[in-house]
Structure 1
């Protein structure tokens, strides 16, 4: 079922690893019969409905539809509390179906590249695969059991790599983060940055007009007048002042570790933004996300 031209509030949060991508939808104007047909109870630990949801949106100033989210529905119901604006509420996760889908064991004899193992698992659960620089090799025979999500997480832990399932693609990165050849997304006032970057515990937070190109582990080139250009290190970021290391928000290269898209349609003055939490590239290289 395709729904268009309705009042929708959508929030898509990318955090990576087991959580994957979370999506919350509030849709007004859906026919009551359709809501009853699509409603489902919250998914259990071992039970998952086969329903899926895909969200598409256009970048600011563009009319090309981009996939923002695709995943399994874990909860859906009609909310009559705001009648006459009855809403259909949907919660979905990109890891819902890989977590519940039973697949055959994945086994390799002898040494095998981690990327080859991940690709084999992705194919079993119907995902495309993207390797972003992982060269690790598993020595000795490998046998994996459980759901697709179980097998993916087992290899991620063993190889100490980072991954995410987003828009029907399993993407993996080495523990050192994105490679130097990774394409950078420039964020500045000219490209839609709203306000200024803000200091955060692990780096910087910022908000920009909706940009579908920004996701988990995206490499960002931040350009802002917020920080004095002279007080920067080789990555273009503040490093030391008065002998003390400081890492405030500043120009330079950053790696996104949490991205949230907030989209509202048919709502005057509605949100059409992307919120980003990012850390310095040099600090990201020392971080291992997989547990």
Structure 2
């Protein structure tokens, strides 16, 4: 498998009634974007994060998204960003920082960072309390539903006694997962997934081999096996992988 160029599309949406001016509304879509994106799909506590460098934007648009548009405490919500590679959505989340680096003139990039559920992490939420033994899946399902998130339970059957959790919704779900000692994935903008510790998610393994994205050779480390692949959006937290290489077992 060889490297190849992909068609990148980036969409920005301004929040809190702001617009890009000149009748453009609050949404800006850039097709065939000249950009560099680094996406970290942690899934759990850190969520999914992105750093995006994008070139070719007008000074006005960069201003709308950078110092005029970066989220501050007095704002209700951060601006949003979506990114597609060859028509496949690979990131959707909230912009946490943005600035134009004019030190790189004449090729000036707008540099943005983003995180899934950043807005939810900065919105107050009601405490969760219940009496008696309550299924962990029911607790997280209830919390997710308050903010319009779907929920998927892949085998968790534990319960918590007299549960009480406070903080924003994301923090409460993380605290529930920690108290129950289970895995939780908050790296999806549409749903929350939980599954037991020490197990994989119930999904077919992704194949990694020289013919399927593997670059170089796997490296044995103290914590496991490290392998590098070309861009592969099918790799995510909790999914099993089948690795083939010419290294001896």
Structure 2 length as normaliser, TM-score?
A: 0.80
Runs (4 or more) in structure 1 with deviation over 3 Å come to 40-49, 107-110
Partner of 2:96: 74
Does 2:119 correspond to 1:92? no
Does 2:241 correspond to 1:213? no
Partner of 2:125: 103
Q: Structure 2 unaligned runs (5+)?
A: 1-27
Q: For CA contacts below 8 A with separation 6 or more, give which structure has more relative contact order.
A: 1
**Is the contact between residue 20 and residue 164 of structure 1 (CA under 8 Å) also seen in structure 2?**
yes
**Is the contact between residue 162 and residue 174 of structure 1 (CA under 8 Å) also seen in structure 2?**
yes
Residue by residue, what CA displacement relative to the aligned partner does 1:102-132 show, whole Å, maximum 9, x if unpaired? 2223333432221121122122233232222
Partner of 1:131: 153
**Residue correspondences, number:** 220
Partner of 2:203: 182
Cα RMSD, aligned residues only: 2.2
Deviation at 1:79, TM superposition (A): 1.3
Residue by residue, what CA displacement relative to the aligned partner does 1:23-74 show, whole Å, maximum 9, x if unpaired? 000000112111111114765689774212122223xxxxxx3222222211
**Is the contact between residue 70 and residue 78 of structure 2 (CA under 8 Å) also seen in structure 1?**
no
Q: Structure 1 unaligned runs (5+)?
A: 59-64, 229-291
Alignment of 1:163-202 (within 5 A): 163-168=184-189, 169-178=191-200, 181-202=202-223
Question: Structure 2 vs 1, CA of residues 48 and 187 (structure 1 numbering), >3 Å: closer, same or farther?
Answer: farther
Alignment of 1:246-265 (within 5 A): none
Does 2:37 correspond to 1:37? no
For the residue of structure 1 that corresponds to 2:186, the secondary structure is strand
**Residue of structure 1 aligned with 2:79, choices 48, 51, 55:** 51
Partner of 1:16: 43
**Is the contact between residue 108 and residue 143 of structure 1 (CA under 8 Å) also seen in structure 2?**
yes
Partner of 2:10: none
Partner of 1:255: none
Structure 1 length as normaliser, TM-score?
A: 0.69
Q: Within 2, Cα distance between the matches of 1:28 and 1:148?
A: 35
Q: Within 1, Cα distance between the matches of 2:81 and 2:150?
A: 17
